[in-house]
Amino acid sequence: MKKLQHLSLLLFLYTSISLAQNSKFVIQSPDGEINLEVNVGEQITWSVSKNNQQVIMPSVVSLALENGEILGRKPKVVNTEEEEVSNSIDAINYKKDVVKDHYNQLKLNFEDDFALILRAYDSGVAYRFFTSKNGEVTVTSEEANFNFSGDYMSYFPYANDPAHDVYQISFENLYEHIPLSEIKKDTVGFAPVLVELPGGIKAAITEADLESYPGMFLKAGESKNSLKGDFAPYPLEEVQGGHNGLQSYVTKRAEYLAKTSGTRNFPWRIVIISEEDKELLNNDMVYKLASPSRIKDVSWIKPGKVAWDWWNDWNISGVDFPAGINTQTYKYYIDFAADNGIENILLDEGWAPKGEILNTIPEIDLEEIISYAGSKGVGVWLWSGYLPLAQQMDKALEVYSQMGVKGLKVDFMNRDDQAMVDFYYELSEKAARHKLMLDFHGAYKPTGLQRTYPNVVNFEGVRGLENVKWSNTDFPLYDTRIPFIRMLAGPMDYTPGAMKNANKANFRAVNSAPMSQGTRVHQLALYVLYEAPFNMLADNPTNYMDEPESTAFIASVPTVFDETIALDGKVGEFAAIARRKGNTWYVGAITNWDSRKINLDLSFLPEGEFEAIIFKDGVNAAREGTDYKREVKHISADDQLEIRMAPGGGWAAKIYPVK
């Protein structure tokens, strides 16, 4: 790994006299625009400003241990360490091949064997606790406060509120656009949460490097202008239940959050700060703050696209065998994938008997499917519910690795307490040993695990296209929110690709023959816009073969890239991104239910002449969502293109040098 590092280390020792006084410590972002200030007195508080505008007001942080010790109450600084770091991270299976990691760091070392580490980047700030205590410690609570100077609007995704456990959720809820003061006091939401400040500034709260510790929810703080962290207590008792008995429901929780090593780093608490909304479309904070890869050889990890069965209900047609969960149907999917350059197929729920993972139903000959796929150069993935896999993890990984399976889609975890976070890490490490990739569904938001274990190639934690099968959610609105909010945390398995596309008036939720809201080109653009190293084609092969132009474009879009540029966007209205792989560029833009015209500046292109294959909404796309126009034109970096998008529409292009 190439690292260009400049370290400037300053050590300040404070006398016992100075320690008796309140102490203030300040670090700035490398560009000097962000100030991160820490005040140490009776408590530890932190605050953040950007260009003299307050982003986070003084907010208390602490960590409480079972022995009654509170790290942050009457703390005494022993010494401080400051450093400026400028690295280049060689990213693995990411939206860019190199991530510039430039920050200023302050470490406050306290008596009682703990420290607070703070970083200031040009795009935000982060802090974390560090402890150096012997043996194991029990964390009973954490105080993570985010105070604002006004009652600002927020994008807040409430958790479900089931009677049994507020912390047991799918992490797919919609964003309520509400003032901080109107956040309900008796429930929680999950990160990232986005807050709108004056002057167009946005502040997004999330976390990174979550390991052996519960994930951070957010709830209304003590004042009407504040948010505070909330964490699922450790599960003491669980019962099997949920969908087909694949889930584990917590029936009793402990009075502590985690039992963990006494010497460790705790998760980063992050505030991402933007002046323009489009900056949120290309942010690397979570990736930078994650632990580096623990897999030495990553050459076998090959993400890509996958022909998927469940969304389209196996509804292929024009064949001489009964379609469904059977060997012949999957051979049909394999033929489709091979003919169109799709790297994988997935056997979703149903290939194994309910609640099992080491057996198949009689209609499935798994060895024959894998052998046939291998002869065609197509990989096979298997879906698994959480509980059967957790109960037989070692055996299942061994059996399916030896059989030639490429990866597992694991579903219905639906929690992020310490025990579940430990499951993610255990599975990721063991799967890597067996050279198996992972796609986490029913999953909490990414916190950088995909950097630590690059065999983890996607996460759900998003209200994906599957929901159109039963929901009238406003998807074009949601689609134009999540790239600015949820995608800040990392990749998302939204599963685009619908070939049946409807305007608002014509849309119906149909479980077995689903359609998307918005236009065909809206769906095509999502393959460029949304980060998804493992990206599914949701519709069925028959429909794709009936739409060869759309299918060829989807197949041509890579799932990982060498460069990403945020072109334009506004939260909940529209988004436009350009991504490069080699010398080919891909551009995707979408809008909400408002028709829209934007100007696309092509100055991101290098010098020379280029040809662009363009998909744009057809003249009648507002009436008939499948209406689109494909055109090919010559362009250069000096050009500007006027993009017109229909309601719920989009625009997509593949741009390559003219030979």
**Which active-site residues does the annotation give?**
411, 466
Question: Cα separation of 20 and 597, whole Å?
Answer: 61
CA 295 to chain centre: 21
Q: What is the 3-state secondary structure (H, E, C) of 47-107?
A: EEEECCEEEEEEEEEEEEECCCCEECCCCCEEEEEEEEEEEEEECCCCCCCEEEEEEEEEE
Residue 456 structure tokens: 């983890």
Residue that the structure tokens 């092509």 belong to: 602
Which amino acid, one-letter code, is at 485?
A: I
Residue that the structure tokens 């100077």 belong to: 149
Residue 600 contacts residue 567 (beta carbons within 8 Å): yes
Which amino acid, one-letter code, is at 354?
A: K
What single DSSP character describes residue 313? Answer: T
Concatenated DSSP letters for 572-598?
Answer: TTEEEEEEEETTEEEEEEEE-SS-EEE
Residue 229 structure tokens: 């962290």
Which amino acid, one-letter code, is at 539?
A: D
Residue 285 structure tokens: 């904070």
- Residue 124 neighbours by CB under 8 Å, 6+ apart: 34, 204, 270, 271, 272, 273, 283, 285
Residue 194 contacts residue 166 (beta carbons within 8 Å): no
Residue 628 structure tokens: 């689109």
User: Strand 216-220 relative to strand 189-190: parallel, antiparallel, unpaired?
Assistant: antiparallel
